[in-house]
């Protein structure tokens, strides 16, 4: 776990309105340990799904140039930071119960770049490269790209999108579908699977979707235990 720099100020003991005084590292720590319940549960469950999908892809021998054991060791932790940029968006936009205006959606979209920039700032402060954080920055930036090039922020297409972003996109969508949100009810696991399969080759990398389908029952067993409430 990333540790805060200041010993006398513990992020988890501070209210969010003091965040402006914290280092970026402290903000990351807060999110992962004591942050907003919705965000924390979503990040942990998504990271679990990412790990299950990536292990299946590894077993199948897919993406041999990217999917090494050392990559697998940091992927799940890195994906847990995918939405960290949302910490810096206006809370009223994030918790809006009904549809976002076009302007508000543009604001939400910035969480990808903001998240990557924050992680890159932490890497710079550390003064040395860190494989988990470097991958986390890639994933934060790319997890809303789409296989067909219609995603954001860059409109990358196919395997131009970093593998971690392509795997996180499926896991992220699955958790969002099966979890209740302020603007929607939750879908069943089978309905969520159907939606993801339907978007294979348009929204999602087909190989990642195929791996997800193979591990879906395993994922479902854990979701039954967690019963996401956020
Ligand atoms: Fe996101
Ligand atoms: Fe997410």
Query: Which is higher by pLDDT, 80 or 210?
Result: 210
Instruction: Give 211 Cα–ligand 2 centroid separation in angstroms.
Output: 19
| 225 CA distance to ligand 2 middle (Å) | 20
Tokens of 12: 């988890």
- Which residues are near ligand 2, the ion (C-beta closer than 5 Å)? 83, 172
Residues of the chain above pLDDT 70, percent: 79
Over residues 83-91, the mean pLDDT reads: 84
Name which residue leads in pLDDT, 51 or 187.
51
Q: What is the 3-state secondary structure of 178-227?
A: HCCECCECCCCHHHHHHHHHHCECCCECHHHHHHHHHHHHHHHHHHHHHC
Distance 70 CA to ligand 1 centre (A): 25
pLDDT at 1: 39
Name the band, by pLDDT with cuts 50, 70 and 90, for residue 130: confident
Q: Which residue has the higher pLDDT, 16 or 63?
A: 63
The CATH number, out of the four listed (1.10.3210.10, 3.40.50.920, 1.10.645.10, 3.90.105.10), of the domain defined by the range 14-226: 1.10.3210.10
In this model, does residue 15 exceed pLDDT 60? no
More confident residue, 184 or 170: 170
The predicted structure's pLDDT at residue 150: 98
Which residues, including other chains, have CB under 8 Å from residue 146's CB and lie 6 or more apart? 157, 169, 202, 203, 204
pLDDT at residue 182, rounded to an integer: 64
pTM of the prediction? 0.85
Decide if pLDDT at 7 tops 80. Answer: no
CA distance 198 to 200: 6
Other beta carbons less than 10 A from residue 22's beta carbon: 19
Count CB neighbours of 195 within 10 A.
14
Q: Which helix (H) or strand (E) holds 69?
A: helix 69-79
Cα(111) to centroid of ligand 1, in Å? 7
- Give the number of whichever ligand sits closest to the CA of residue 142: 1
> How many Å apart are CA 35 and CA 15, to the nearest integer?
10
Given a cut of 80, whether residue 226 has pLDDT beyond it is no
Q: Which pLDDT score, from 0 to 100, does residue 192 have?
A: 96
DSSP for 70-92, please give it: HHHHHHHHHHTTTTGGGGGS-HH
pLDDT at 36: 61
CA of 182 to the centre of ligand 2 (A): 14
Query: Which tens digits make up the pLDDT trace of 105-116?
Result: 999 999 999 999
Please state at what angle helix 102-109 crosses helix 111-126, rounded to 10 degrees. Answer: 20
Ligand closest to Cα of 168 equals 2
Distance from C-alpha of 95 to C-alpha of 108, rounded to nearest angstrom: 11
Q: Which ligand has the shortest distance to the CA of 111?
A: 1
Segment among 23-32, 59-68, 140-149, 217-226 with least mean pLDDT: 23-32
Is the confidence at residue 31, as pLDDT, over 80? no
- Ligand of minimum distance to the alpha carbon of 86: 1
* 182: Cβ contacts below 8 Å, ≥ 6 apart: 95, 96, 97
**How many helices and strands in the chain, by DSSP H and E?**
10, 0
How far apart, in whole angstroms, are the C-alpha atoms of residue 107 and residue 91?
11
Please report the pLDDT score of residue 4 as a whole number: 37
Per domain, the residue ranges of the chain are: 14-226
By the CB criterion, residues less than 5 angstroms from ion ligand 1 are: 83
pLDDT at 13: 42
Average per-residue pLDDT in the chain? 85
Q: With CA atoms as reference, report the closest residue to 49 among 167, 190, 159.
A: 167
What's the CA-to-centroid distance between 163 and ligand 2, angstroms?
A: 16
User: Which ligand number lies closest to the CA of residue 112?
Assistant: 1
What does the pLDDT read at residue 113? 96
Cα of 180 to ligand 2 centre, how many Å? 13
Q: CB-hemisphere CA count at 13 Å for 33?
A: 15
DSSP string for residues in 145-180: --TTS--SSS---GGGS-HHHHHHHHHHHHHHHHS-
Across the range 130-159, mean pLDDT stands at 96
């Amino acid at each position: 776990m990333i540790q805060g720099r200041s010993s006398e100020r513990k992020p988890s003991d501070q209210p969010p309105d003091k965040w402006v005084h914290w280092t970026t590292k402290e903000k990351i720590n807060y999110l992962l340990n004591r942050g907003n319940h919705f965000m924390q549960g979503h990040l942990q469950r998504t990271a679990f799904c990412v790990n299950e999908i990536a292990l299946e892809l590894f077993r199948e021998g897919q993406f041999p140039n990217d999917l090494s054991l050392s990559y697998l060791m940091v992927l799940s932790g890195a994906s847990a930071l995918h939405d960290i940029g949302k910490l810096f968006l206006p809370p009223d936009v994030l918790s809006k119960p009904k549809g976002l205006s076009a302007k508000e959606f543009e604001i939400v979209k910035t969480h990808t770049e903001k998240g990557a920039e924050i992680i890159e700032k932490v890497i710079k402060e550390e003064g040395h490269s860190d494989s988990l954080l470097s991958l986390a920055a890639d994933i934060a930036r790319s997890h809303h790209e789409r296989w067909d090039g219609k995603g954001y922020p860059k409109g990358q297409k196919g395997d131009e999108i970093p593998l971690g972003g392509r795997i996180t996109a499926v896991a992220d969508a699955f958790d969002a579908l099966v979890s209740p949100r302020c603007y929607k009810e939750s879908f069943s696991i089978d309905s969520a699977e159907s939606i993801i399969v339907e978007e294979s080759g348009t929204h999602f990398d087909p190989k990642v979707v195929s791996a997800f389908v193979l591990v879906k029952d395993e994922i479902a067993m854990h979701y039954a235990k967690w019963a996401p409430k956020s």
